[in-house]
Amino acid sequence: MRLKLFFIGGLAFLTVSCSRNAITGRNQLQLLPEAELQSMAKSEYQTFLSQNKIVSSSVSKDAEMVKRVGNRISKAITQYYTAENKGDILQGYQWEFNLVDSKDVNAWCMPGGKVVVYTGILPVTQNEAALAVVMGHEIAHAIAQHGNERMSQGLLAEGLGTVGSVLTSGNPTVNNIFNTVYAPGAQIGVLLPNSRKQELEADQYGLIFAAMAGYNPNEAVPFWERMAKAGGGQKPPEFLSTHPSDETRIAKVKRYAKDAMKYYKPVK
């Protein structure tokens, strides 16, 4: 009887904890308050910046470009969702965009709009529109709350019996999972280690964000083709990977780019 009650209670808890994402329309497991994640991200971001070489936009055109692209995308997103009466999606966001001197082919966005681009990805992006594709993708991960979903799945894996305790502030389990999901050192390549579904969602909505900011979404196709070549080496089969295969991603991106064109207004 006790086990049955626990099981029923667990199902009820999961039902309450699932919410429909305002951007993707998909139901997601959300066990953590977004405000808590943003607070943790702010602290982690400041620690990261203090330990890495930030390229100043006052002396680098590349750093200036990163800030310009980020500002255009964030402005476009804010204007769009405010007009759609969905401004609460970006509640608590305080955007920051920095270029970091590193050979890593990488970029990421934490909850609350904390964005980093590594210099190592610039030879692959090659142009501003492709950089917008990358930054739009990473920003889409954040505001679609993919990290919250992944952390919630991690917490669930710890066992329903401990969910109550892990949700308390200062719990080391939450911090450990946060660092696993968000810490720059835990990331692989250009993308956070999210599921294939999350990756394709970030591709789709990231292209819309880039298009709304005035960048041609068709630049995504040659960019991902270059990324596929840059990856090289033997890759696991798609069903064993957290990411879609290069072939799947490029085929999907071609369709997403076509759909995103309706939002495209070139920057004058």
Report the catalytic residues: 138
Cα(first)–Cα(last) distance of the chain, in Å? Answer: 68
**Secondary structure letter of residue 121 according to DSSP:** G
Amino acid at residue number 50 = S
Where on the phi/psi map is residue 261: left (φ > 0), alpha (ψ -120 to 50), or beta?
alpha
d(CA 33, CA 91): 12
Buried-exposed string 15-53: b where 16+ CB fall within 10 A, e elsewhere: eebeeebebbeeebbbbbebeebbebbbebbeebeeeee
Tokens of 224: 């991902």
Do 89 and 111 meet the contact criterion of CB atoms below 8 Å apart?
Answer: no
Q: How far is CA 244 from CA 101, 105, 238, 252, in A?
A: 28, 18, 6, 10
The vertex-200 CA angle with 181 and 248, nearest 5°, equals: 120
